[in-house]
Amino acid sequence: MLGTLRRRRDDQPLRFKRGVYILPSLFTVGNLFCGYACVVYSTRGDFDTAAVLIGVAMVLDTLDGFFARLTRSSSAFGVELDSLADVVSFGLAPAILAFTWGLWPLRRLGWAAGFISVAAAAMRLARFNIQTSTVTDKRYFAGMPSPAAASVIASTVYLYPWGLQDPRAAAPALAMVLVPAFLMVSTIRFRSIKAIDVGWRRSYFALFVAAVVLALIASHPRVALVVLSYAYVVSAFVVLAYTRLRRRPLTPPPPTTT
């Protein structure tokens, strides 16, 4: 009798209160708010706060997907709302931040580079939405994810929040905006952080690595965040080079005789 009751309880799906199902959308709205606030603080010249807000938006963007899967409340409305919020937080906000921080001395060239970044983020998100159901290998993204591209700008600004005033100093900042934009619309594969397998699961090695990363961020946040952001960019090229070298034949084919 007791075993039958336990089996019935185990077979029943996990149920939540109705209010829980709106939780993922609340995180998405919070993500959208951070993107809007980043634009406001950028125009005020408070680059420290603006850069941090992009980081908060990244955390909220992760949480909305996590709770959507946990509560099994994914919907077409939630997917569209999430994409629109990401365009603001990881497309428009980083572009405005980059322009007000260091691209404005370049005048038209500076705001044109910012627009390219916004357009690339919008295209990247649109492509991700239509390819979600057809992607078989969930370990990789086709193109750089827009939050990772935004983190390159945000971490750089956070490292040097005083801004750039001279056009000669602002010229190298174009690469900070245009390179991630190109990578977003490219087909270069970027590894999904959630799908990385560091091995040694029984020894909780992945948890230990996460603790080390958190300790580094807590002790030296400005340097650690820049290193993490740029290391993710470089990792894609390392994987690409390794894949091509692995596919290359080790020995030349035998000569053909006529």
How much is the pLDDT for 22? 81
Residue ranges per domain, the chain?
18-193
What's the pTM?
0.83
How much is the pLDDT for 101? 96
Q: How far is CA 240 from CA 96, 131, 189, 234, 244, in A?
A: 31, 21, 8, 10, 6
Q: Which CATH class is domain 18-193?
A: mainly alpha
Structure token pair of residue 54: 């992009």
How much is the pLDDT for 241? 86
3-state secondary structure of 190: strand
* Residue 203 pLDDT > 80: no
Inter-residue contact 117 to 181 (CB < 8 Å): yes
Per-residue pLDDT of 163-195, as tens digits, reads 999 899 899 999 999 999 999 999 898 887 765
How much is the pLDDT for 234? 93
Per-residue pLDDT of 47-105, as tens digits, reads 999 999 999 999 999 888 887 777 777 778 888 899 999 999 999 999 999 999 999 99
Q: Burial-class residue 23 by CB neighbours within 10 Å (0-12, 13-18, 19+).
A: middle
